[in-house]
């Protein structure tokens, strides 16, 4: 495509709507290397039917519902208003308890010692607050997007790019949990390769992930997309490096 054609195409991708945390629109257009751990398997290892479960930052509940956990034993938090409204409409009617955060400090209007297991995938959290709401012996399982996620691609579009969450590394997260009286059961960190098979997928993705691609717009980056178009024509994909880590921690008895 020439520059004008590419701009029209990419701006149409940039304008696509996005709901919940559902990236199915990109199915077949991107591919992420598998992690050396299985988050779902790890969660199910500790989750029993009678467990009181809290899923922090559930998005639209997409992952949560795949667990098939009894709704009466299930609670969620969601701080992003559009997703919270989805949860109110979709999950509350099933009997799942829906909580919001108090202010910006990830505080929760939940009693002490409420949950057997708290799971958290890609959501910020307060270690002391998680400890407080867990029952003695309760489990906290968190998989996080690390500080260096998509750093190469973000820097390609913005040479002044600065890591927004430098505290999000495995070592620092483990230390904070230990400092808050947790015992670490398992931890791991990995940098999987992410491949995009068309430029529209990158435009769609970058517009959504605003904290990694600050002030991104297709129009401002069209010349860089032309460079990527040459790379795509040459090798068939554009690659980036993700950053993931996982921690399984237990509250003391």
Looking at residue 103, its pLDDT comes to: 67
Looking at residue 242, its pLDDT comes to: 97
- How is residue 194 written in tokens? 């992410």
Q: Which CATH code fits 3-250?
A: 3.40.50.150
Q: What is the mean pLDDT of residues 211-227?
A: 95
Looking at residue 46, its pLDDT comes to: 98
Query: What's the pLDDT tens digit per position in 19-59?
Result: 766 799 999 999 999 999 999 999 999 999 999 999 999 98
Query: What's the pLDDT tens digit per position in 56-101?
Result: 999 889 999 999 999 999 999 998 888 889 899 999 999 999 998 7
Looking at residue 18, its pLDDT comes to: 84
pLDDT level of residue 107 (50, 70, 90 thresholds):
confident
103-108 contacts, C-beta under 8 A, 24 or more apart: 106/79, 108/77, 108/133
Looking at residue 104, its pLDDT comes to: 64
Q: What is the pTM of this model?
A: 0.87
Nearest Cα neighbor of 158 from 108, 220, 209, 116 is 220
Beta bridge partners of 196: 30, 238
Q: How far apart (Å, rounded) are the C-alpha atoms in residues 251 and 131?
A: 6
Q: Where are the domains of the chain?
A: 3-250
- Average pLDDT over the chain, rounded to whole? 94
Instruction: Report the percent of the chain where pLDDT is more than 90.
Output: 84
Q: How far apart (Å, rounded) are the C-alpha atoms in residues 88 and 96?
A: 9
Q: What is the mean pLDDT of residues 172-201?
A: 98
Instruction: Report the percent of the chain where pLDDT is more than 70.
Output: 98
């Amino acid at each position: 495509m020439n520059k004008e054609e590419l701009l029209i195409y990419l701006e149409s991708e940039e304008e696509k709507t996005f709901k919940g945390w559902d990236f199915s629109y990109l199915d077949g257009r991107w591919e992420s290397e598998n992690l050396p751990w299985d988050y779902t398997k790890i969660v199910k290892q500790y989750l029993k039917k009678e467990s009181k479960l809290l899923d922090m930052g559930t998005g639209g509940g997409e992952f949560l519902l795949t667990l098939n956990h009894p709704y009466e034993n299930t609670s969620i938090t969601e701080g992003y208003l559009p997703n919270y409204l989805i949860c109110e409409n979709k999950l509350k009617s099933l009997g799942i308890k829906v909580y919001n955060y108090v202010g910006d400090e990830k505080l929760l209007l939940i009693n002490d010692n409420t949950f057997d297991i708290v799971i958290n995938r890609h959501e910020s959290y307060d270690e002391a607050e998680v400890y407080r709401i867990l029952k003695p012996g309760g489990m906290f399982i968190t998989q996080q997007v690390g500080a260096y996620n998509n750093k190469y691609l973000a820097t390609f579009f913005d040479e002044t790019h600065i890591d927004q969450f430098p505290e999000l590394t495995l070592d620092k997260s483990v230390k904070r949990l230990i400092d808050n009286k947790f015992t670490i059961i398992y931890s791991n960190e990995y940098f999987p390769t992410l491949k995009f098979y068309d430029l529209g997928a990158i435009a769609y993705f970058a517009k959504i992930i605003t904290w990694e691609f600050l002030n991104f717009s297709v129009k401002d980056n069209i010349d860089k997309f032309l460079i990527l178009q040459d790379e795509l024509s040459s090798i068939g994909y554009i690659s980036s490096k993700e950053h993931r880590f996982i921690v399984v921690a237990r509250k003391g008895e």
